[in-house]
Structure 1
């Protein structure tokens, strides 16, 4: 269906409870699409969500899912978790198993074809498989060949040729296989459920002179929220009163609490550990950072990775092919070689069972949902299975310098007065002049003055003006002062800058610092060196990436070559590209992709947008609270922490490896079992354990991704 048509219909999103397998989710999607008033629908199996374009009711949707007894509610509601006792929840399977055991005991004493034995096995089959048969028969009539169809034919066929015990065992083990699949997906989804449960459902609000507790849905932007020590923050906002340490692990993955004071941003779902905070609410409950994270992760879990798309397409043709192979095995040897009908019909039924694609279908979704959920809990937002797989294949990573490898905040690293003038008084005058400047480095000088508690704002500046591209000037106490580049003073002074001073300037520049000169038209009074400090963990991260096998780490910057070389050497990247305009970064990323195929770009998600888009995987720093980063990047590191990058790479590689293992194992085990048909060795027992065993192994293998930790 076209996007244009979708837009003309009302879009509704629902949560679904009761999915037991990926095949059932696909069938539910098909059923919903055929409902009157529905133009299109899509099921997100990973997040258990349904998106409907058109007009229908929850009653109609639940009818479409009646084959699985599905429950449907609007997206914003939550299911009430009803914990059924184990015996009650699995009573039918347990009863079926009891009759299977009775049948086996009877068979030992009375024989396999005795009435009591057959009756016990028959009751076991009916109790454990009635739902299976209902769906299997319906699918057969519609010529829909899925897992249930295969199992139904196999069970009935086995009963017809007198293999009652094996038919009952097929029913039991198929039920266990479905329960395992359902359990594994629930376990994988638990990462997101834990995120959904971390935000309080109500908060204390001050309105006027009254303090009252209200539901979060009723809280308005601008309300003052009061959060006591030990309480969780219910809404995103800005601190207006109080000082405290806030544990932001749920949002950013940071294990160390972050100090918060007036004007600092706080997020819903984080824990106030120490002081009383008053917070001005900045966003509605549906727009909070945690709400966006949950929404984006759920969408990501529904996005089909390349391997999953392959599996879905393969399974579509695979099941009918297995039906024809089974028919051929059952019919051709007796017809062509006058072999025993009973033996080859049995072999054909075994082919049906071993050909059931349970393991193959679950192999990819369980891995993707588990990995994306684990990443979210550790402060990394991966926006889809495709990006997860591509990150696992990355060979080169390009980094923006400012704000990525460096802190992005310039600081004064060196203040070198050159005369006997009062150095404190001179710094105050310099800060006063810079207060009127628009230069990006002016903030560094003012911050240094503030740190030294200098009253620079009280100094009167007269005849202030900017000298384009070179610096600024202004009068203080009838003296004209200049602040600017060394080139400005080469022009101003009647004599050359002393050689020793030039050497000092060159030395500072070679250290990656920007040098500013302060003085008058007759003398240099001071040198100020300003630099963007390298992040504490940048060098360690680059080293870890090289250890993990990344072939190239490239720093991209618009800075001059001297500064770039100094920073690049300090952090340990393999290549440096300096003096780049935004379009140059874009061109370089394209060239890098031609050379390495899979390339990641790490930036701040705003001014690096073109380069992020051109890379195989765009990674944004500091996604928490930054809408642009959340929207534009393929992966967002929620904390402003480069240290999450090696973890993301390890998790993605592990996920890619496990997905390949699962697909290879699922197909391999079936191929081996099918080859047993040639000598006539394939039995229903082997088929059953090949199918259920494969499902169990790929499920447990996928859940291993929960063990990948951020160390």
Structure 2
């Protein structure tokens, strides 16, 4: 079912003139290209003077927070009429209970969408004024889902530790959180003792009967409690079906079989909770990496303070072999830092202080000086300056995003949810029909009822319900531990079924630190004049190519008086212009000079430009007034190991790999040939990259876009899966991407694809195993081949099988891939 939201267009895009504005068209196009967004359009029906952006989306596929991220990536912001609460709770450790709580929240007045994961992550979007955080937390408390110190998006604490402990004990009942498991074991124990005593003629039957009744109590306590909640919510879940079967067995006098059913079912529930707990612990282990206290220098002395008390600008002392408490940059000391917990890098990274004259803005800090909370210092003593509060550190945001990502349901999970909504009522209808079998065949009603109850047990889709969530949660937890942030089951599964990947060039396939390699003056011009003019203009630009010119220009003309330009303006995708000595200066690609007024490029400059481009250089022609000063050649080398990454990607089954670049086609082709890409598309503006991604989606159905998360945001938002490089410390990259490689290491991409492939494979295995068991058990019980006891054993065994299969992902390691041989086998597997 689609949900509709209305967002004020002026709030989203303050500079937009009307719905025909290009920015509005880009925003609508990017939203409509996302899976789960049915349509987006401008609506003036409510107020002719106020335009509203109306978005129809499927909450199970894409959340309101994801739409907000996409809007942010296009320079927009969602208005403040929507609130967001994200909290971790106890009392939810199974799929059925998570679905029930989710339904309760969604029916609450003012709630736009709600998602609850089986490991207790609750995320709610609501309309401010219609409900509040307090009302939502009150509903959670009444449901029995107590916050365990979770936080909302703004970092406000939702429960103190004493509150969490007290509530957990209350909801856990007698034995705390282990009560359900202990009850399941008591049920199995009393059943076993009752059965063994029943074999002896010396023991009265009443003793065995009493023990079977005890087994009913312990095995049915939690099942009955949840069944009451689901029936009151007008849902008929697996718990209800099992209680019906157990009650029917008792009615027939088959207490032992009914007790066996409840004992195994409650034990399966307890083990399901254990499996979800394993996945939750793997995620929580990340949060526990950051130390509780920090040594901070204040007023000339060192003080031990709680990490939560650190302020931006504080100087923190990091002793050898200790964990770093906050994000920041090194101001004193040299050491190596193990960043594997955040970025996935296996080798410690050398850290050094920022230069005294360097900018202290976070975005300008070099990687060799930046440190992250939760990473481990080596043998040296460091002093760092704090740049983020503990609640906003890279590690904290990764944990928060992974927890919230569990709400983004995978395609297979959506299928199984739809299947269960149809299947469970169909089972009840079948059971009712079987009760009238006595009118067709000659058998006593007790045999008819027994068969119907056996079918009820056999057809309960317990394994199906847990098969996909357990695999998705394990995959997300394993990815987070390996320096990958995957935002939900949908990106995890989509990445595992990809056949095509598009790469940005600069900073992704190349190092992203271009160097000026060639200065070719035009005839009659001087190389010094060429550099001085270029330096004057480019020193006022923040483009990476400008930085290369400025570095080289200042080094070459050390001590010379620099010229000062004014009115420097960027020409998107083409170059830059400015005024120097009263004349306009243009610096940019050769295409620029065919689009502006003035004399054409002279033959010698054109020839030099072609020669440099053919050797893989990016070229920039310089014209001062009507006089061409020459051409500059800039080289951005490919990343070390980039070619090997392409080979490994092909071995995983990626068959179409292309590069999208704003650079000229000749340079793009040269790099593509060197790296072994299938195709390179050059001379692309940002909107051209979006069009290229749309074309690839039409051809390949699914495509990933790998970029830096900033300049490539529109293309990443348009792709099936957007992948950001070097997302650690970058808000934009982490918000925009579906998958974020936390470290600046392209080599993590094949691991991400391989992990997603394995996750997809396990999801399919679990799906077919659970459906297969149901398909075998139903006919077997209908025709009386299996009784209740054997049906229960096979039923619960299949549940344990799919859970155990899913937990294998927590220990997943990327296999050593064989040399690429065309990807035939991998592609065949995908096609099948």
Query: Fold conserved (TM > 0.5)?
Result: yes
Q: What displacement does 1:542 show? A: 1.0
Tell me the residue number matched to 2:206: 115
Q: What displacement does 1:115 show? A: 2.9
CA distance, structure 1, for counterparts of residue 141 and residue 312 of structure 2: 37
Q: What displacement does 1:392 show? A: 1.6
Q: Secondary structure at the match of 2:781?
A: coil
Which of residues 380, 385, 391 in structure 2 aligns to 1:275? 380
Which of residues 424, 436, 453 in structure 1 aligns to 2:536? 436
CA distance, structure 2, for counterparts of residue 617 and residue 163 of structure 1: 54
Q: What displacement does 1:192 show? A: 1.2
Does 1:705 pair with 2:796? Answer: no
Tell me the residue number matched to 1:157: 248
* Structure 2 length-normalised TM: 0.73
CA distance, structure 1, for counterparts of residue 717 and residue 232 of structure 2: 49
Does 1:313 pair with 2:418? Answer: yes
Instruction: Assess, with a 3 A threshold, how the Cα gap between structure 1 residues 345 and 269 changes in structure 2: closer, same or farther.
Output: same
Q: What displacement does 1:136 show? A: 3.8
Contact 2:609 / 2:619 at 8 angstroms: preserved in 1? yes
Tell me the residue number matched to 2:394: 289
Tell me the residue number matched to 2:561: 460
Q: What displacement does 1:27 show? A: 2.5
1:82-122 deviation line (CA, Å, top 9, x unaligned): 99899987443333333212221223223999333323222
Which of residues 219, 226, 231 in structure 1 aligns to 2:322? 231
Which of residues 281, 288, 300 in structure 1 aligns to 2:405? 300
Q: Secondary structure at the match of 2:514?
A: strand
Tell me the residue number matched to 2:291: 200
Which of residues 602, 616, 641 in structure 2 aligns to 1:537? 641
Instruction: Assess, with a 3 A threshold, how the Cα gap between structure 1 residues 170 and 372 changes in structure 2: closer, same or farther.
Output: same
Tell me the residue number matched to 1:478: none
* Structure 1 length-normalised TM: 0.85
Q: What displacement does 1:3 show? A: 5.4
Contact 2:93 / 2:118 at 8 angstroms: preserved in 1? no
Tell me the residue number matched to 1:48: 120
Q: What displacement does 1:407 show? A: 0.9
Instruction: Assess, with a 3 A threshold, how the Cα gap between structure 1 residues 342 and 613 changes in structure 2: closer, same or farther.
Output: same
Contact 2:180 / 2:222 at 8 angstroms: preserved in 1? no
Does 1:686 pair with 2:759? Answer: no
Tell me the residue number matched to 2:461: 357
CA distance, structure 2, for counterparts of residue 39 and residue 147 of structure 1: 27
Which of residues 61, 67, 83 in structure 1 aligns to 2:140? 61
1:637-663 deviation line (CA, Å, top 9, x unaligned): 111121111111111122222222212
Instruction: Assess, with a 3 A threshold, how the Cα gap between structure 1 residues 594 and 221 changes in structure 2: closer, same or farther.
Output: same
Tell me the residue number matched to 2:359: none
Tell me the residue number matched to 2:40: none
Instruction: Assess, with a 3 A threshold, how the Cα gap between structure 1 residues 595 and 242 changes in structure 2: closer, same or farther.
Output: same
Contact 1:605 / 1:620 at 8 angstroms: preserved in 2? yes
620-629 vs 241-250, greater mean Cα deviation: 241-250
Q: What displacement does 1:674 show? A: 0.5
Q: Secondary structure at the match of 2:512?
A: strand
Q: What displacement does 1:436 show? A: 3.3
209-218 vs 55-64, greater mean Cα deviation: 55-64
CA distance, structure 2, for counterparts of residue 210 and residue 393 of structure 1: 56
Q: Secondary structure at the match of 1:709?
A: coil
1:500-548 deviation line (CA, Å, top 9, x unaligned): x999986653220246899xxxxxx999753001001211111112222
Contact 1:62 / 1:72 at 8 angstroms: preserved in 2? no
Aligned Cα RMSD in Å? 4.1
CA distance, structure 1, for counterparts of residue 568 and residue 392 of structure 2: 45
Tell me the residue number matched to 2:220: 129
Tell me the residue number matched to 2:821: none
Contact 1:20 / 1:178 at 8 angstroms: preserved in 2? no
Contact 2:194 / 2:208 at 8 angstroms: preserved in 1? yes
Instruction: Specify every segment of 5 or more residues in structure 1 that has no aligned partner in the other structure, as ranges.
Output: 418-425, 476-482, 519-524
CA distance, structure 2, for counterparts of residue 644 and residue 625 of structure 1: 17
436-445 vs 556-565, greater mean Cα deviation: 436-445
1:336-384 deviation line (CA, Å, top 9, x unaligned): 3232222221111111111222211111111111111111111111112
Instruction: Assess, with a 3 A threshold, how the Cα gap between structure 1 residues 111 and 2 changes in structure 2: closer, same or farther.
Output: farther
Tell me the residue number matched to 1:19: 92
Contact 1:432 / 1:457 at 8 angstroms: preserved in 2? no
CA distance, structure 1, for counterparts of residue 111 and residue 408 of structure 2: 21
CA distance, structure 1, for counterparts of residue 204 and residue 787 of structure 2: 19
Q: What displacement does 1:142 show? A: 7.1
- Bigger Rg over Cα: 1
Does 1:215 pair with 2:302? Answer: no
Q: Secondary structure at the match of 1:240?
A: strand
CA distance, structure 1, for counterparts of residue 495 and residue 641 of structure 2: 21
Instruction: Assess, with a 3 A threshold, how the Cα gap between structure 1 residues 548 and 344 changes in structure 2: closer, same or farther.
Output: same
- Map 1:73-84 onto structure 2 (within 5 A): 73-75=149-151, 76=157, 77=160
Instruction: Specify every segment of 5 or more residues in structure 2 that has no aligned partner in the other structure, as ranges.
Output: 8-63, 65-79, 125-130, 152-156, 355-368, 570-574, 582-586, 592-597, 623-628, 816-832
Contact 2:537 / 2:568 at 8 angstroms: preserved in 1? no
- Map 1:387-406 onto structure 2 (within 5 A): 387-406=491-510
Q: What displacement does 1:9 show? A: 8.1
CA distance, structure 1, for counterparts of residue 233 and residue 177 of structure 2: 35
Q: Secondary structure at the match of 1:212?
A: strand
Tell me the residue number matched to 1:247: 338
Tell me the residue number matched to 1:421: none
CA distance, structure 2, for counterparts of residue 28 and residue 467 of structure 1: 57
CA distance, structure 2, for counterparts of residue 268 and residue 589 of structure 1: 36
Q: What displacement does 1:72 show? A: 5.5
Q: Secondary structure at the match of 2:347?
A: coil
Between the two proteins, the alignment pairs up a number of residues equal to: 680
Instruction: Assess, with a 3 A threshold, how the Cα gap between structure 1 residues 156 and 224 changes in structure 2: closer, same or farther.
Output: same
Does 1:621 pair with 2:725? Answer: yes
Instruction: Assess, with a 3 A threshold, how the Cα gap between structure 1 residues 610 and 446 changes in structure 2: closer, same or farther.
Output: closer
Contact 2:340 / 2:483 at 8 angstroms: preserved in 1? yes
Tell me the residue number matched to 2:514: 410
